[in-house]
Structure 1
């Protein structure tokens, strides 16, 4: 029996509807999953990625770093004690001298003759006193005369000593080992008492002096170890011998002096980078690029806490080295952000990648 065309049309329409729903079920479910996948991908793409380095906590000596300059430990203007004309200048200006070296010699004039006369008078008084003593023992000289002769002998001895001192004052000598840095008198110069022959400076030990900021003044103690790298390339080591208690009225800084051994005779007046020990404590080494400023202008680092959440910690730079900065302020092992730290905020969740 042949079906009518209307039945065939209805059956075809029904089949088309069934086929539509089958296809919609297949592709519609896949589209929903794809949409969910896209949403998850978009959500993941909103979480920033940062690169970190793991910085372990290390116990390290803290140092106070400042700019300084070298100074002579002592500088003395050597002056004449008597009047006279300079007869000789045995020491070359700028040369090293030992304590007692003659820097300027004055004309002795009649001082040698005065000394010779005083010594002759002393010998005479000695003979006179001896004769008086012998006569006194025999009863031919009174005790008063004996005492007078002894007084004359003592006076003659004092005159000899006075003449010897006057003659010695013709030699103007170095008061300590050092450098005869400047001559103020030449041969033929007349020096009155108190006028300068020249200046002697002591360079070993050498002082390295600097000015401590108020924030560092309490960290530096007398006796603390210190090193100084001079602009000339030399490195000196020593200890703090003086730390001021009263600030400079103009700069509000505190003077500190380090006495350092100076076998190479480094010069006075050189600029120096001074590093003074200030105890020990925890420290971390981070790249210079890790430092950032927070909204309040504080210097610090951003690091990642457990749970991959960003935190900011203010830090203090202890020392700058070719390998990075030593800082204090962090505690324990820290994952410090070195790439992307300027684009994340405290409390934000991030994806963490190791530094390349």
Structure 2
């Protein structure tokens, strides 16, 4: 069948329009791609990072641990003899001086025994004096004089024994401190060794903590230390003891700090403890600048003089609101503060000042 000429004309026009549209689209895409490539080439292929010059600063090193306050001494005061508690003069929880009576037992017949011993002592003293006078006049032998002196010494010893028996009826504070807890009440019967109460010494006060294995070697006896208590108080002191053997369970080392405590701060308060560990160079860096390398080490990335990236492992000394103090860097460094996670060691970068 023969196609009419007007149809052929229409088909030809459609084909021409389709070809023109297709060619135009391809050329447009090619132009945009070329423009983008030209723009990229113009900007350069180096990644951009922000860096800040960080100086090296002398800094006191400190070991920071969690600790708690403890009484310097805690003693359960016990009865040396048997008896019924007749009085409890000391108030529970009060500060008492050394020698203060905490519990007094009923003296019973001990006072009578003491009185009898003293009377016997006075008799022996008169007898010994008379014997010595007679011996001086030749009416007494030396043997009799020595016997009378021995009797006098025995009587004196009996008096001393009776006095100790009476004295033991008063259970006294062994040192200045707080009578923290009373275990015996009036009417209680105490056998030898049973407790009257507990005495604790709070001045000086102990601040104790546990050093990890990595920090134990840095702490020396006599090092200055401070403690910020949960109550808001701050105590200062010195290290009096640092264990040489680790705890079998925690693998930590006990450290004890003594601090003057005239205000009688309580035992058992939690504390943030700082112990001086010498001084040396350090750098202040933003916390966000810390990264991990391929080996999992914590450190920072910085830019060398030839604008290549370098990595240095660091150790955090202290965290502050302004940043963290670290060791491991030497001299002033151009620390990367933005872009440090997207560059690698040895890579050349374009450096701009940190905003």
Which range, TM-score by smaller chain?
0.7 to 0.9
Give the Cα separation in 2 of the matches to 1:355 and 1:107.
83
In structure 1, C-alpha distance between the alignment counterparts of 2:40 and 2:312, rounded to whole Å: 32
Cα deviation for residue 352 of structure 1 reads: 2.0
Q: 1:199-238 counterparts in 2 under 5 A?
A: 199-238=198-237
Residue 206 of structure 1, CA deviation? 1.3
State the shift of 1:232 in Å: 1.4
Moved more, 111-120 or 169-178: 111-120
Q: Partners of 1:271 and 1:42 in 2: how far apart?
A: 62
- Kindly provide the CA deviation profile for residues 84-133 of structure 1, in whole angstroms up to 9, marking residues without a partner as x: 11111111111111111111111111222222211111111111100000
Local SS of the residue matching 2:267: coil
Rounded Cα–Cα distance in structure 1 between residues aligned with 2:43 and 2:209: 55
Report the counterpart of residue 194 of structure 1 in structure 2: 193
Shift of 1:317: 0.6
Q: Between Structure 1 and Structure 2, how many residues are aligned?
A: 322
- Using the size of structure 2 for normalisation, the TM-score is 0.87
In structure 2, the residue matched to 1:324 is 323
Deviation at 1:254, TM superposition (A): 1.1
Taking the aligned partners of 2:91 and 2:352, their CA distance within structure 1 comes to 69
The secondary structure found in structure 2 opposite 1:92 is coil
TM-score by length of 1: 0.87
Give the alignment of 1:335-346 within 5 angstroms.
335-346=334-345
In structure 2, the residue matched to 1:31 is none
* Structure 2: runs of 5+ lacking an equivalent: 1-33
Question: Aligned runs of 1:106-117 on 2, under 5 Å?
Answer: 106-117=105-116
Q: Shift of residue 39 of structure 1?
A: 4.8
The match for 2:134 is: 135
Shift of 1:258: 1.1
Runs of 4+ in structure 1 displaced over 4 angstroms? 35-41
In structure 2, distance between residues paired with 1:265 and 1:297: 47
Match of 1:23 in 2: none
Match of 2:310 in 1: 311
Find the aligned partners of 1:329 and 1:219 in 2 and give their Cα distance: 17
How far is the alpha carbon of 1:276 from its aligned partner?
0.9
- Secondary structure at the aligned position of 1:185 is classed as coil
Question: 1:37: how far off?
Answer: 12
Distance 1:271 1:175 in 2: 28
Match of 1:62 in 2: 61
Query: C-alpha root-mean-square deviation of aligned residues, in Å?
Result: 1.7
TM-superposed deviation, 1:40: 7.9
CA deviations 1:244-289 (Å, max 9, x no partner) are 1111111111111111122222211111111111111111111111
3-state SS in 2 of match to 1:249:
coil
Which stretch has the larger CA shift, 127-136 or 308-317?
A: 308-317
SS state of the match for residue 217, structure 2? Answer: helix
When structure 1 is superposed on structure 2, of 189-198 and 210-219 the one drifting more is 210-219
Hey, what does 2:23 align to over in structure 1? none
Structure 1 gaps, min length 5: 1-34
Residue of structure 1 equivalent to 2:254: 255
Query: 2:24 matched to which residue of 1?
Result: none
Cα distance, 1:43 vs. partner? 5.8
Of the structure 1 ranges 310-319 and 44-53, higher mean CA displacement relative to structure 2 is found in 44-53
Q: Deviations over 1:57-77 (max 9, x none)?
A: 111111111111111111000
Aligned equivalent of 2:238: 239
Residues of 2 paired with 1:94 and 1:263: CA distance? 16
SS of the residue corresponding to residue 258 of structure 2 reads strand
**Structure 1 counterpart of 2:276:** 277
Alpha-carbon distance, 1:38 to partner: 7.1
Aligned to 2:267: 268
The 5 Å alignment of 1:15-26 reads none
Segment of structure 1 superposing worse, 262-271 or 94-103: 262-271
